[in-house]
A and B are shown apart, each in its own frame.
Chain A
Amino acid sequence: MKDAVVITVPSHPKYLSMVRAATVNMGKLYGMEDPVTEDIKLAVDEACSNVIKHAYRGDTSKKIVIKYKNMQNGLAVIIEDSGIKANLKSIKGRDLDDVRPGGLGIHFIKRVFDVFKFDEKKKEGNRLILIKYREKG
């Protein structure tokens, strides 16, 4: 049996608290350290917020599918939507020295995850693959 959990939430910001709670639980269940789990929680929240804002342009009637997969060497979080394709060239955070509202979410995602990539094989919508490798103890 594959060690994975899939949750589906509506694309409404009110469900982000549910995503955060699920992410913390999955992080703990899959053996991530507490401080890392907190960073993963923020990152997954930011990734789902980006889906609502950019892929669905604020449409709250769509779905976000989040898969948590226990890997031998870490945790994978795969986030899928059926919205507008992400423009990979435009995905970059703002320069942290350029203080202005916005542009931080992507930094929060890349801060914790070792792998951040979009599955280019997905024809419609987006599949964001995030992997955090476990610290070798």
Chain B
Amino acid sequence: MNIEVSDYNGKKIIILSGEVDMYSSPLLREKLLDLIKRKVPILIVDFKGVSYIDSSGIATFVEGLKGMKSYGGRLQFFGLPRGIMEIFSFSKLDRVFEIYGNIDDAINS
């Protein structure tokens, strides 16, 4: 798994790639919670390069979402590959997370 944090039109973006599993998710959690601690108002996650996610990766994002909601922040996803979207749908989390097709849709929402 690789994580890059960058700015796009004044918004924070996490560009995530590779496999998110029990081994790699603690690093994702650390980065995510660091941004949440700084009360980033909108955090966008680019999933285009993610080839795999397990329940520990999903749990990390659920924790992140709860943290952001506590101060009125928004956590947005875009570019989820089909297999990963299916996992979110099966878990009924597609109704909980803000999921967009591309970065412009996320930014303009």
Which A residues are closer than 8 A to B by beta carbons?
Answer: 12-14, 16-17, 20, 38, 42, 45-46, 49, 52-53, 96-97, 99-102, 104-105, 107-108, 111
Which B residues are closer than 8 A to A by beta carbons?
Answer: 19, 21-23, 52, 54-56, 58-60, 62-63, 66, 83, 87, 90-93, 96
* Contact call A102/B91, Cβ cutoff below 8 A: no
From A12, A49, A96, A97, B55 is in contact (CB under 8 Å) with A49
- With CB as the reference atom, state the residue of chain A lying closest to B18: A17
Q: Given contacts A38-B83, A107-B90, A111-B90, are A45 and B62 in contact (CB under 8 A)?
A: no
Q: What would 8 A/B residue contacts be, using CB atoms closer than 8 Å? A: A16-B23, A17-B19, A45-B22, A46-B54, A49-B56, A99-B62, A104-B59, A104-B91
Q: How far is the CA of A8 from the CA of B83 in the complex (A)?
A: 28
Chain A residues near B58 (CB-CB < 8 A)? 104
B75 to chain A, nearest CB (A): 13
A92 to chain B, nearest CB (A): 14
Q: Given contacts A13-B22, A42-B87, A45-B21, are A97 and B54 in contact (CB under 8 A)?
A: no
- With CB as the reference atom, state the residue of chain B lying closest to A52: B22
Pick from B58, B91, B92 the residue with the most CB of A within 10 Å.
Answer: B91
* Contact call A96/B91, Cβ cutoff below 8 A: yes
* Contact call A14/B23, Cβ cutoff below 8 A: yes
Q: How far is the CA of A107 from the CA of B23 in the complex (A)?
A: 20
Pick from B54, B60, B62, B90 the residue with the most CB of A within 10 Å.
Answer: B54
* Contact call B23/A13, Cβ cutoff below 8 A: yes
Pick from A12, A20, A42 the residue with the most CB of B within 10 Å.
Answer: A42
* Contact call A101/B60, Cβ cutoff below 8 A: yes
